[in-house]
Amino acid sequence: MVSPTTTSAPALSQVLDPALENLGVRLHENGGTLRVFSQAADSLDVVIFDADDLDWATAILPMQRLERGVWEITSELLVAGARYALRAAGPFGAGNIFNPQTLLLDPYARGIVSGGFGDRRSVVVDRGFDWGEVRKPAVPLDRTVIYEAHVKGMTKRHPGVPAALHGTYAGLAHPAMIEHFLDLGVTTIELLPIHAFASEPRLLQLGLDNYWGYNTLGFFAPHAAYATDQARREGPDAVLREVKGMVKLLHQAGLEVVLDVVYNHTAEEGIGGPHSSLRGLDNRAYYRQQDDGTYIDVTGCGNSVNTATDAGARLVLDSLRYWARDVQIDGFRFDLATTLGRDDQHRFTPDHPVLRAIAEDPELADTKKIAEPWDVGMGGWQTGNFGDGWHEWNDRYRDRVRNFWLSDVDYARRASTAPVGIGGFATRLAGSSNTFSAERGPLASINFVTAHDGFTLNDLVSYDVKHNLGNGEHNRDGADTNRSFNHGAEGATDDERILATRRKAMRNLMGTLLLSAGIPMITAGDEFGRTQRGNNNAYCHDSALTWLSWEHRPWQQELFAHVRRLIELRAENPALRPIRFARLDEETPSASVMEWYDERGETMSGERWNDPAHRTLQYVAASTPEFEEFNRILLIVHGNETPVDVRLPVIEGVSRYVSLWSSAEESPSREAPVLSPGDVVPTPPTSMHLFRAE
């Protein structure tokens, strides 16, 4: 492949070796043709198995070697429903590991089933599906509100979903779930991995499972365990139809589907781990290695897929095209995306051909591309450094918002003043212009306060430290720096004062998230304050600890009402969701002009930005011409635990302020009190207040 260290992205034809096209099985009238890549193998066979006895081989067919390491066979046995495996032989050494007795999965298999002794078989799948007139919703970026969810965890305990659909793809698209999504107001459902995955042997020995799914077996096959019992009995064709049916129903409701995809590593772990697919076909081509065959692990999972080779790059891009085209997926969140952007010297470059190809490929043009912009290798933290066409999880946003509302307040209780002022928080609120270039704008930032990985919103305000003993690693796993604050008691408490302060802290965090410039992401269950009892790394718990509960106490219903109201206000006020950063020297279309005032209604001075004793600001944002409509809002942020009087700013063209939302209220009010410029507003401790300026 052309060196990925060049300063301009090469054409797609240079990234994708044309000899590697059409890998996997292609059906035709009299059977099918299977193409597999293995540059290093001396021979490659396809083994066909009996449909009712997956340990009984009915045929062994030698494949023919073509150019550039591609092997091919056409057979009448390769029909829809056929179970098959690959068997490769070749020289041992030079980074390659061959065992001709090992049965391997086809990396391009659209279906995977388990054999009688735990072995897995690839399955030829009929990909036909009637999409009717349903099309992708194509939600504009500025109107996007992401909801990160787990297929099983969302519905496993939902009383409105039939028991037969609990924990399934079909259950996620049940009317009860769609009603929840629409009532909340989110636009885009981001699913934790649904590519076929396996639990690590270490977890199985502990009696645990890989619940999150970041341990991929195959990049084209859906995870069968999330399908209904009926679909699993019918086979991979039915499982795939159920996935497509889920997408179709969500699209009919106007909801997008984004997949969390794990192309950075596979379930084969390190050299001594499982030997199931890529390692046995062409270890050298698919995994990053030293010259002596030692793996270069920048993922912390034992191996790293090598996107600096044609085979590795092609595998990733072909998989994305398949899910975007055949399954009509609306976007992808790339786990440890920095790994995908490492060149043949294992250094990250934002101009890596694979990153550019993902952003520019015509078949992916209508999809959202979201990077988790880090891995654990040298130079792995790359927030803000991905190129045009990419959006990024903004951990700087997460950390600063948590600090402002939680750890800074904790610090102030012990030291009489917070450690820093409000300036850094304001930068995050306004779109993180110090992280993302003017060309990329605020919508490059995926703003989040919580995610699947870490504390839930409720636990963030209820625990000072992680409680992960149930993970079997003596509380060593999971992040130690959470920027959380228990507000005076660790975990559950009956102290109503502490509970009220925690509830307000959750409202402040959600208010910040949904009123900030950028694209917000909510973690499923945070809208009603779910808890994982202080476990901040619950990846191995497939249980009531991680399944959402749908029995909610009054305070949880009130929190839900707040989140719903905030999403509604975000949609109604374009000043809250600018597409571009405004420039002071000119009018910028689709931007918001921002002005900052202190609690006295005066323009914020440089001294006050950075003074930790002054953590109160008034943020005025006005949409610029060529947006949907002219709109101006005022947001008051007060980050101290003492009340303060705030004088509303006197601004040319503003005659009144209409109250829209306050975090100080237990229940969101639909009343809209009207105040005048210059009025003094008594502002409660640590609170937010939104007004429309008219």
Q: Which amino acids are annotated catalytic?
A: 335, 372
DSSP of 568-618: HHHHH-GGGS-SEE-BTTB--TTEEEEEEE-TTSSBPPHHHHH-TT--EEE
Where in 517-590 does DSSP place strands (E)? Answer: 519-523, 580-581
Which residue has tokens 């499923």? Answer: 524
Structure tokens at 478: 């999971």
| Pairwise CA distance, residues 387 & 437, whole Å | 10
β-strands 70-75, 331-334 pairing: unpaired
Give the closest residue to 594 by CA, choosing from 452, 427, 453.
427
User: What distances in angstroms separate CA 209 from CA 83, 200, 215, 378, 429, one per listed residue?
Assistant: 26, 8, 11, 30, 38
Provide the 8-state DSSP code for 409: H
- On the 0-12 / 13-18 / 19+ scale of CB atoms within 10 A, 644 is middle
SS3 240: helix
User: What distances in angstroms separate CA 228 from CA 119, 549, 550, 598, one per listed residue?
Assistant: 22, 21, 21, 57
CA–CA–CA angle 152, 158, 164 (5° rounding): 70
Give the closest residue to 355 by CA, choosing from 332, 377, 376.
332
Give me the amino acid identity at 448.
Answer: F
β-strands 616-623, 632-638 pairing: antiparallel
Give me the amino acid identity at 287.
Answer: Y
Facing residues of 581 across strands?
592
Give the closest residue to 679 by CA, choosing from 669, 671, 689.
689
β-strands 31-37, 632-638 pairing: unpaired
- On the 0-12 / 13-18 / 19+ scale of CB atoms within 10 A, 525 is buried
User: What distances in angstroms separate CA 84 from CA 27, 106, 109, 114, 622, one per listed residue?
Assistant: 14, 8, 10, 11, 61
| Pairwise CA distance, residues 622 & 15, whole Å | 44
Where in 382-450 does DSSP place strands (E)? Answer: 391-393, 445-448
**Edge-to-edge strands of the sheet including 83-89?**
57-62, 43-49, 83-89, 120-123, 111-114
